[in-house]
Each structure stands twice: as structure tokens, then as C-alpha cells.
Amino acid sequence: MLKRALILFGFRVEIASTGEEGIEKFAHTNFDVVVTDIMMPGIDGVGVLRYIRNSDRADTPVIGISGTPWLLQNEKFDLVLDKPFSIKTLAASVKQITEKKRGVSAADSK
């Protein structure tokens, strides 16, 4: 569902069903931003985050999705979205983070 919604907002999207699959894709592809659920079987979203932060692309923005965001205060996510959230909130967050990474201010994007 999130993939289809983000595509409708104009984003190119890759999906991974597990943390391991996400890490494998990240290892071989450059991404502008990574969105990860925290609760996944095997390697969870925090594990994915830690892999990214220890990689040669540690500056890749990572958005975590969690029903318990207060448990992630000490992690180095760029943003944590509290479940439930709207698709518009997710799309706006991805847009804001990717523009920030590219050095585009909100005034420039209007």
C-alpha cells in the first residue's frame, strides 16, 4: 500500500519484505532515503538503521515507522513516524528529507 501511494506522489520506490532483504538492496543500490518499519522478523528496522549508519553511505536519511516511537529516542533516525500516520504525512516527510539532503530549501521548491 505504501509503495503504491508513494508512486502516486511521484517517488520511485523499491520494497523489501525483510530487514535482510533491505540491507541487501541498500548494499547494491543508492537510495535518496530509506523508510523502514521497526518491527520486522529477523533484522528489525533498528538493525537496518545501524547497518546504514556503519556503511560508506552513513549519511543516507532513514525514516523509521513505529507504534512505539518513544523507544527509539536514542537511535539515529532522521525522523520517526508514529503509527498510524497518513500517506500525505509520509509523502511530505520523504519529500522534505530528500530536499534537505539535496540542499533544496522549502522556498526553493515552490
pTM: predicted TM-score of the whole model, two decimal places: 0.88
The pLDDT tens digits for 35-70 are 999 998 899 999 999 999 999 999 999 999 998 888
The total domain count for the chain is 1
109 located within any domain: no
The pLDDT tens digits for 63-102 are 999 988 887 877 899 999 999 999 999 999 999 998 988 8
Q: Can you tell me the distance from the alpha carbon of 84 to that of 75, in angstroms, rounded to the nearest whole number?
A: 20
108 located within any domain: no
Q: Which domain holds residue 93?
A: 2-101
76 located within any domain: yes
Which CATH number covers residue 75? 3.40.50.2300
CB 66 within 8 A of CB 72: yes
